[in-house]
Amino acid sequence: MPEPRTRTVLEHLAQFDLSSHSGSPTRSLAISTVSDSQTFIYVGTLSGTLILLSTNPENPSTSTTPEKPLKVATFLQQNVSLLRSVLVGDDSPVDRILFLGEIGKVLLLSGGALFLVDSLLLQPVRRLSFFKGVSVITRRFRSSNQAESTNLTENSANTNASSSEYTSTSQRILQRLGGGIRANGLRDKESELNHRTEGDFVFAVVIGKRLILVELVLDGIVSKSDRDLDGVNGSFVVLKEIQCLDGVMTMVWLDNSIIVGTVNGYSLFSCVTGQSGIIFTLPDVSSLPQLKLLWRDWKVLLLVDNVGVLVNTHGQPVGGSLVFRRGGPDSIGEISSYVGVVKDGNMELYHKKSGGCIQKVTFGGEGVGPCIVANEEVGGGKLLAVATPNKVLCFRKLSSEDQLKDLLRKKSFKEAITLAEELEYDGEISKDMLSFVHAQVGFLLLFDLRFEEAVNHFLHSETMQPSEVFPFIMRDPNRWSLLVPRNRYWGLHPPPKPLEDVVDDGLMAIQRATFLIKAGVETLIDDGFLSNPPSRADLLESAIKNITRYLENCRVKELALPVREGVDTLLMYLYRALNRVNDMEKLASSANSCIVEELETLLDETGHLRTLAFLYASKGMSSKALAIWRILARNYSSGLWKDPNMENGSQDSNNNIISGKEIAATEASKILEESSDQELILQHLGWVADINQALAVQVLTSEKRANQLSPGGPLSYKNHHILLNFGSDPPSQMTSSLSIWNI
């Protein structure tokens, strides 16, 4: 039996000991939040008492742990109070409690009869005496799919107006006498159906083999916003009667489908046509049938031994099944995206879509007796009530944020992301919140020295700003300090600091953890680091490589100019730290947003003059770029350089290896070809021509510049000098040059 995943979804909110107020075990349970500060819990007992408890759903409490039984704290008992109790009927068990919060009423099933009482139990309980021998009652729930939910009032009035099937002798006498309401609490439907539409309080009751559909009508209440708190004068209008099965033990009514469960299996009845069909047949040895309406999804859960089968309103299986680890449960509840089942003093929470057991809560030992779980059927659905024979407990669903924080504190990062994705899929958190969690996980992993995983999460975050990693690259204060978002996360990781400090602090934490483990103390440090501690150099290289990867990906995004400047400038810093010269030159020679003054000193002092020359050229600082190329041509004329622009993996020295002097002249000529500054051209054309006169000709004849050079003057002399150097066989380019310069 696999243990449940260590996730805390529910926390203990309140607890009440019934033994001092009622010596009778619990039989039924209902819960409903009536305001932000008050939740009602109704408890029905075997002796026929209805107990009303009140708790504050917003009160703080301690979280429960999956592994340990709940420890009863003083404030848990103080957070629940007994408001009052009433006796229902004649000491028969209160089998069913239906809270009708819209009108402030509670409908009860006890001793085969139905009773009505106000929600505060202030007025005497009234018995609706027409119905006798009722074994099961359920309320109709209508989904948003109107096509699947027929208005029974209109349908009955149109198709069965004569009502002969339901009209008894006493009803006909009352009709002749003009009576519209029977003394026993049943309102004549003929006087009602022709001028009423179906309300919100329609129920199905089972009496023997009869399935009767009725509507509860309260005297003096015009709309569901009215609350008849001064009385409970209600009556039923019979809408339809259907031939049912014998031995119905559980029932759910969703839209036009009524699903009933017997010891033999589950059947579906149409409330419109009355037709029925078998959904599942239970084996001879099986747990008792149970049905649970999952109103958040508008599905029905059918218990088949220890398996919860999900079906739609047509009784067709949908999605996967839930396999309950402890066998058939005593009771089933629903809260948010989870199903809670109770048995043997334990509650287990299962995710409806994944089927996994998420949390286990223990509230009693073996032999505690049958347990009941109840959920809110309207509203936010954030509470679950659990009853043992002598105790009532209330649990509150932790907020999505608290659940995620709990997992992150445990460093259960994969589980946190899985939960965030589930919550986003279920609509409980936004897509931005999912991105926020990815970023939060990334920072926690970064401080755990798991840099590759950290950046993977950064890249999954659509809301994280590149400026958030700037403090890890350059110490504050710097040009971009004010761009870094502050206080955006949950305080689960230290403030940003340079990567060197992150690595040093992480290594110290590994050393401390090693000593703690030897002393028998558990830690959250990665086992891989403990068994094989990494070196500082390897960690720092990994950190820089992965932050570089993140900034490279950020370059393709639409960023504000200051952020783009930071990304490109700091990327150059990181390339320099990794000695990735090719990437430095590629970045500098392409369109970039680097801040030159932030890089000049670094590139100059480290000898990366080619990169600096490319950077100057990309920023239109042609004079500085040409000065560097001139220096390089002079100082490296005898060396051999590998041209990054021609690198293709071939070993052909004629193509890939060219003289540094030639490279400098080529790069300088590219700048001069686009320049219209004749003095600048005159200053550098000579040394370019000394290296490669063809390049000099290209400079003079270039059409790339915005303003063509003026003929005559020093440039004309320089052109003539180049011509003389070619002798009697000048290149074809010189033809146009001669005509331009009138030589």
pLDDT tens, position by position, 95-139: 999 999 888 999 999 999 999 999 999 999 999 877 789 999 999
Which residues touch 248 (CB under 8 Å, ≥6 apart)?
Answer: 135, 136, 206, 211, 260, 261, 262
Residue 233: pLDDT above 80?
A: no
For residue 16, give the 3-state DSSP assignment.
strand
Q: Are strands 250-254 and 134-141 parallel, antiparallel or unpaired?
A: parallel
Quick one: which H or E segment has residue 434?
Answer: helix 431-447
CA atoms within 13 A on the CB side of 320: 10
Q: How confident is the model at residue 177, as a pLDDT?
A: 32
Contact between residue 543 and residue 503 where contact means Cβ atoms under 8 Å apart: yes
**Separation of alpha carbons 235 and 179, rounded Å:** 14
Quick one: which H or E segment has residue 632?
Answer: helix 622-635
Residue 38 confidence class, pLDDT cut points 50, 70, 90? very high
CA distances from 575 to 172, 241, 435, 494, 648 (A): 96, 81, 28, 26, 21
Query: Which tokens go with 591?
Result: 């369109």
pLDDT tens, position by position, 334-374: 998 899 999 999 999 999 988 999 999 999 877 789 999 99
Residue 535: pLDDT above 90?
A: yes
Residue 186: pLDDT above 60?
A: no
Quick one: which H or E segment has residue 668?
Answer: helix 660-674
Residue 247 confidence class, pLDDT cut points 50, 70, 90? very high
pTM: 0.80
Contact between residue 299 and residue 340 where contact means Cβ atoms under 8 Å apart: no
Residue 301 confidence class, pLDDT cut points 50, 70, 90? very high
The stretch 217-240 carries a mean pLDDT of: 64
**Separation of alpha carbons 499 and 510, rounded Å:** 16
Quick one: which H or E segment has residue 425?
Answer: helix 413-425
The three state secondary structure string of 509-549 is HHHHHHHHHHCCCCCCCCHHHHHCCCCHHHHHHHHHHHHHH
Residue 191 confidence class, pLDDT cut points 50, 70, 90? very low
Q: How does the average pLDDT of the chain come out, rounded? A: 84
Q: How confident is the model at residue 548, as a pLDDT?
A: 99
Contact between residue 525 and residue 506 where contact means Cβ atoms under 8 Å apart: no
Q: How confident is the model at residue 122, as a pLDDT?
A: 96
CA dihedral 342, 343, 347, 349 (to 10 degrees): -70
Contact between residue 690 and residue 671 where contact means Cβ atoms under 8 Å apart: no
Q: How confident is the model at residue 79, as a pLDDT?
A: 84
User: Helices (H), strands (E): how many in the chain?
Assistant: 23, 31
Share of the chain above pLDDT 70, in %: 80
Q: How confident is the model at residue 524, as a pLDDT?
A: 79
**Separation of alpha carbons 301 and 291, rounded Å:** 6
CB atoms within 10 A of CB 486: 8
Helix-, strand-, coil-residue percentages of the chain, each rounded to 5: 35, 25, 40
- The residue with tokens 């670094």 is 602
Residue 173: pLDDT above 50?
A: no
Exposed/middle/buried for residue 116 (C-beta within 10 Å: 0-12, 13-18, 19+):
buried
Amino acid identity, residue 124?
A: P
Query: In terms of DSSP H, where are the helices of 448-595?
Result: 451-460, 470-473, 499-518, 527-531, 536-554, 561-578, 581-589
Residue 629: pLDDT above 50?
A: yes
pLDDT tens, position by position, 455-507: 999 999 999 999 999 999 999 999 999 999 886 789 999 999 999 999 999 99
pLDDT tens, position by position, 577-615: 999 999 999 999 999 999 999 999 999 999 999 999 999
pLDDT tens, position by position, 715-736: 555 565 555 555 545 555 444 4
Residue 222: pLDDT above 60?
A: no
Q: Residue 417's Cα: distance from chain center in Å?
A: 8
